[in-house]
Structure formats: structure tokens, C-alpha cells
Structure 1
Amino acid sequence: MQIDKLKHQHTDILRRVAALRTLTHAGVADNAQAIAEGIVGMSAVIKLHLAVEDQALYPSLQRGDDADLARLGRMYQAEMAPLAQAYDAFVRRWNTAQHLREDAEGFRADANNVLRRLHERMQRENLEFYPRIEAQAELA
């Protein structure tokens, strides 16, 4: 399975998270519109990424000959479900400048939790999961 596109999406998402962090540090109220737009834009990339994983990556691993990698794929997929739900709630809560201006501290707390979890997940995929997939592909 070719995972270059997934890796590029991780880079894009991490760049967007960093941009949101910069805007947040500069002031939520002053940057509310840009933050809301950043959240909506990042959401589109994340939805595409999750769809590729669910419709291509995980099924490909299940059809493969490596039972351990198939098991690992099922584990990663199952672990992602609650994070995807938390991220979806985050987007729905903070996708407008008005909501951000009304509760800047609530946004900061929610962003620190959800975006930290998202960052940690992508790092695990980058360091543990994707290298296993690439190593298996080289053997095939």
C-alpha cells in the first residue's frame, strides 16, 4: 500500500495545527475569524484523510498476508473512532468566530485537549504504524 499521500496529509494537518496555535497565542478574540477558517479548512483535510484510511488503508491491510499488521490496523482504526468523534464535536463547537469570541478560554482548553490528542496520534502513526506498513510493502 502506497502511503505517501497519507504522510503528506499528516504534514499538512500538523502545519495547520501549528498555525492555529500561533493565532491562538496572538489572541483568540482578535484572530477569531482566521481561527474559525483554519478549523474548517483543517477539518476538510482530516475528513479526507480518515476516509482514505477507512476506505483504502485498513481494508488493504485486512486483505494482506501479514496478520500482525492487519491486527495493528484494526487497533489503530478502533482507537481513532473516539478521537474522530471528539474532533468532530470540536469543529462543530468552534467553527464560527462568534463562538470563539464568546468563550476564548473554553476554546483554548478544548483545543489543548483535542489537538494535542490528534498530534500524538499522528506522531504514533508516523513513528510506528507507517514504517511497519512501508517495511511490509518492501517485502512484498
Structure 2
Amino acid sequence: MQIDKLKHQHADILARLAALRQLTHAGVAPNAPAIAAGIVGMSAVIKLHLAVEDQALYPALQRSHDADMAHMGQLYQDEMAQLAEAYDGFVRRWNTAQRLRADTEGFRADANDVLRRLHARMQRENREFYPRIEALA
């Protein structure tokens, strides 16, 4: 199974997360327009990534003759559904500079929760999930 595109998208998303972290550390209010644009831009990449996983990766794993891999794929998909919902709420709350400026501490708390979980999930996929998928090929 070819997952190079998914791995490239992870690298892109991780770079975007790092950029958001830098902007946030430099100050939410003065960087609110760039942070909001970064969130919206990252959201587009994440939506594409999740669509590929849901429409291609997970169904392919379910059809695989490796029961452990099919089970692992189902677990990752179920877990991602919860995280995707949390991320979608995050994007809706913080997609404008005005909202960011109105509640900088709320944004920081939300970002520390949701974006850390997203980062940890992608790192775990890179370390555990993707290597197992590549080993099937």
C-alpha cells in the first residue's frame, strides 16, 4: 500500500503546527491574522488528509488479509473520528483574527489541548502505524 502522500501531508501539517506555535509564542493578539490564516490553511490540508484516510486507507486495511492490521486500522479510524470532531470545533472557534483577539487565553488553552493531541497522533502514526502499513507491501 502506497502511503507516501499521507506521509508528505503529515510533514506539511507538522510544519504548519510549528509555525502556529511560533506565532502564538510571539503573541496571539499581534499575530491574530496570521494565526487565523494558518488555522484555515492547515484545516484544508487536514480535511484532505482525513478524506484520503477514510476513503482509501482504512477501507484497504479492512480488506487486508492481515487481521491485526485490519483491527489496528479500525482502532486508528475510531480514535481519529473523535480527534477530528475536536479539531473541527477548534477551527470553528478560532478561524478569525477577531475571535483570537477577543479571547487569547481561551485560544491558548484550546490550542494546547487540541493541537497537542493532533501532533501526538501524527507522531504515533509516523512511528507505529505507517511503518506497519509499509511492511504489508
Same fold (TM over 0.5): yes
SS of alignment partner, residue 73 of structure 1: helix
Matched with 1:36 is: 36
Matched with 2:4 is: 4
Matched with 2:95 is: 95
SS of alignment partner, residue 15 of structure 2: helix
Q: Compute the TM-score of the two structures, normalised by the length of structure 1.
A: 0.97
State the Cα distance separating 1:65 from its structure 2 match.
Answer: 1.1
Structure 1 Cα separation of the partners of residues 95 and 70 of structure 2: 36
Structure 2 Cα separation of the partners of residues 128 and 21 of structure 1: 25
Matched with 1:45 is: 45
Return 5+ residue gaps in structure 2 as ranges: none
Structure 1 Cα separation of the partners of residues 66 and 89 of structure 2: 35
Structure 2 Cα separation of the partners of residues 122 and 54 of structure 1: 15
1:9-28 paired onto structure 2 within 5 Å: 9-28=9-28
Matched with 1:64 is: 64
State the Cα distance separating 1:64 from its structure 2 match.
Answer: 1.2
State the Cα distance separating 1:50 from its structure 2 match.
Answer: 0.3
State the Cα distance separating 1:133 from its structure 2 match.
Answer: 0.3
Matched with 2:112 is: 112
Structure 1 Cα separation of the partners of residues 65 and 81 of structure 2: 25
Over the matched positions of the two proteins, sequence identity in percent amounts to 81
Q: Which amino acid aligns with 1:112?
A: N
Q: Which amino acid aligns with 1:78?
A: D
SS of alignment partner, residue 28 of structure 2: coil
For each residue in 1:37-70, what CA deviation from the matched residue of structure 2 results, as whole angstroms up to 9, or x when unmatched? 0000000000000000000000011111111100
Structure 1 Cα separation of the partners of residues 38 and 115 of structure 2: 13
Structure 1 Cα separation of the partners of residues 67 and 86 of structure 2: 30
SS of alignment partner, residue 49 of structure 1: helix
Q: Compute the TM-score of the two structures, normalised by the length of structure 2.
A: 0.99
Q: Which amino acid aligns with 2:79?
A: E
Structure 2 Cα separation of the partners of residues 133 and 112 of structure 1: 30
Runs of 4+ with deviation above 4 angstroms: none
For each residue in 1:98-135, what CA deviation from the matched residue of structure 2 results, as whole angstroms up to 9, or x when unmatched? 00000000000000000000000001100000000000
